[in-house]
């Protein structure tokens, strides 16, 4: 159920999904005294909230207000471009009127009128006026065919000079959903059995971790038994009756409350709970190649942490007790069957299949690639290492994202921001080029300069290529149109009439048409 207003929890315990607002993939536990935000989704338990902000005072409304302010600041550059176009038109008209006035004083009115008409024919419509619009029309069509929806042409043209690309993590570099990265069975239980039982319990839950378990179990074509008497355990997990047995999928903390412990726990590291740090974001240089990969040992890990995870192609063995499931970026849950711990499952946010290649290609162009996330240091470091990012910022509060983008721009660098959530909207508006993932929220899409329909980070590289190719075509057309006008207008005005060189209105029409055809053909040759 979606929370309707900002407030403070006065009763109850639950996990709340704030991914749309804060960018944190894992639901945040809410207890008495915790604050909740309008627009977040209550995943399981019941909460009684004392409302202290509503309407325009809510966090969501503040985000929308920041977006509006940033967009208004951009419109000034658009007004400047419009004024330049107006003065160009005035100059063209002035040349025609001046030509008529000068020749009227030197020759007869008919000759003066012919010269003025020839000038107007050559200059209106003229190649200079069509040089950019024709390229714009062609590039827009190409962009649409490549899954790029351009909402702001000025920002799109600015993309050719980008120096820094900043990605939001959740929903952009990652899919914003949990996937099983490793599983282990204890006391002879097969890991497939552990996953199937967990999926049976979680089948009626809307918790993101529950959905991740169920989706992976279905992708593996596991036989999921029927469950009854489902009950959510707010902040702890869930339980249900499966074939007459009480099966629970619970957190490490609840496991300790039950008095149970992991087999081989004396040798295994403690299972941490992943939470985003709430403080001033600190930039980190990402270490390359140090992915959190589980090793073989007492147990057999089913998959390395990170990467484009395909559950259908990841084999699962039945590991021994004490298998090392813990790695940065993972959340571990445990499966208890009638009071007996039978296995553990490690999940993490799934990295998009094209993220690695997209980042590598951007870096090969000489761009710096960075990441912003509300997640904690461990999770951010893991994703940055897996993807080979140049720099990352962990624990970034939603209201700080726009300020961080502004600080990077203040270095004198041209910045693109790629995001998908409400919390990314101010940063998208603040960046030189705001790019929204098409599967993102309406606020993010409405704020962005360019929308990626395919929700594929690889499309950012396509955007840069198209922007650079479009700019080259514009320059080529402008050079031709300027040269044409620089030569054609004086000839039409009769500057060489004393040498017998006179351009008639009919010849002027032919020259004008030819120049327009050349510009149009050159625009149609735009390719990426």
Query: Which run of H or of E encompasses 355?
Result: helix 355-364
For residues 367 and 162, the answer to whether their CB atoms sit within 8 Å is yes
Other beta carbons within 10 Å of 11: 11
CA 181/CA 348 separation, integer angstroms: 7
CA 173/CA 165 separation, integer angstroms: 12
Q: What is the DSSP letter of 388?
A: T
CA 412/CA 432 separation, integer angstroms: 11
CA 167/CA 91 separation, integer angstroms: 45
Clarify whether 432 is annotated catalytic.
Answer: no
Other beta carbons within 10 Å of 505: 17
CA 460/CA 472 separation, integer angstroms: 19
DSSP characters over 177-197:
EEEEEEEEE-TT--HHHHHHH
Contacts of 523 (CB under 8 A, 6+ apart): 134, 135, 137, 138, 473, 477
CA 333/CA 350 separation, integer angstroms: 17
Cα pseudo-dihedral 305, 28, 211, 418, rounded to 10: -70
Nearest residue to 348 (alpha-carbon basis) of 322, 371, 380: 380
In three-state secondary structure terms, 323 is coil
CA 107/CA 113 separation, integer angstroms: 10
- From the candidates 6, 56, 108, 168, give the one annotated as an active-site residue: 168
Nearest residue to 115 (alpha-carbon basis) of 128, 92, 97: 97
In angstroms, the first-to-last Cα distance of the chain is 45
Nearest residue to 199 (alpha-carbon basis) of 226, 217, 219, 176: 217
CA 205/CA 193 separation, integer angstroms: 19
For residues 388 and 351, the answer to whether their CB atoms sit within 8 Å is no
- Residues known to be catalytic: 168
């Amino acid at each position: 159920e979606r929370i309707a207003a900002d407030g403070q929890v006065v009763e109850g315990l639950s996990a709340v999904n704030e991914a749309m607002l804060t960018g944190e993939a894992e639901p945040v536990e809410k207890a008495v005294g915790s604050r909740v935000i309008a627009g977040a989704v209550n995943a399981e338990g019941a909460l009684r909230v004392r409302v202290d902000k509503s309407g325009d005072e809510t966090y969501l409304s503040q985000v929308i207000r920041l977006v509006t302010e940033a967009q208004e600041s951009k419109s000034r550059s658009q007004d400047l471009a419009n004024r330049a176009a107006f003065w160009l038109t005035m100059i063209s008209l002035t040349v025609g009127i001046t030509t008529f006035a000068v020749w009227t004083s030197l020759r007869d009115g008919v000759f003066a009128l012919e010269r003025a008409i020839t000038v107007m024919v050559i200059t209106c419509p003229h190649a200079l006026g069509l040089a950019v619009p024709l390229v714009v029309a062609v590039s827009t069509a190409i962009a649409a065919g490549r899954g790029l929806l351009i909402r702001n042409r000025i920002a799109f043209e600015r993309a050719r000079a980008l120096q820094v690309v900043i990605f939001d993590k959740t929903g952009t570099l990652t899919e914003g959903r949990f996937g099983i990265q490793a599983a282990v069975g204890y006391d002879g239980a097969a890991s497939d059995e552990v996953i199937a039982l967990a999926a049976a319990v979680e089948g009626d839950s809307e918790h993101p971790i529950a959905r991740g378990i169920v989706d992976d179990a279905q992708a593996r074509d596991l036989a999921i038994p029927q469950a009854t008497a489902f009950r959510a355990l707010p902040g702890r997990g869930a339980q249900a009756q499966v074939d007459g047995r009480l099966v629970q999928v619970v957190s490490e903390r609840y496991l300790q409350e039950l008095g149970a412990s992991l087999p081989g726990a004396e040798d295994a590291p403690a299972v941490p709970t992943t939470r985003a740090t709430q403080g001033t974001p600190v930039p980190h240089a990402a270490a390359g190649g140090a992915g959190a990969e589980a090793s073989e040992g007492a147990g057999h890990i089913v998959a390395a942490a990170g990467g484009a995870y395909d559950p259908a192609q990841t084999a699962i063995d039945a590991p021994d007790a004490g298998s090392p499931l813990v790695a940065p970026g993972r959340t571990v849950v445990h499966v208890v069957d009638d009071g007996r711990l039978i296995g553990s499952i490690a999940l993490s946010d799934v990295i998009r299949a094209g993220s690695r290649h997209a980042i590598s290609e951007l870096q090969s162009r000489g761009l710096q690639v960075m990441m912003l996330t509300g997640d904690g240091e461990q999770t951010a470091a893991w994703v940055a290492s897996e993807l080979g990012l140049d720099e990352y910022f962990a624990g970034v509060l939603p209201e700080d994202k726009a300020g961080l983008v502004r600080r990077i721009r203040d270095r004198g660098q041209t910045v693109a921001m790629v995001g998908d959530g409400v919390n990314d909207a101010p940063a998208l508006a603040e960046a030189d080029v705001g790019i929204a993932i098409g599967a993102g929220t309406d606020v993010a899409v409405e704020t962005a300069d360019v929308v990626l329909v395919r929700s594929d980070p690889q499309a950012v590289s396509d955007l840069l290529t198209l922007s650079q190719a479009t700019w080259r075509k514009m320059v080529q057309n402008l050079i031709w149109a300027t040269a044409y006008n620089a030569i054609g207008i004086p000839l039409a005005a009769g500057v060489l009439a004393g040498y017998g060189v006179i351009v008639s209105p009919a010849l002027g029409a032919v020259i004008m048409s030819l120049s327009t055809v050349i510009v149009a053909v050159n625009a149609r040759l735009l390719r990426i």
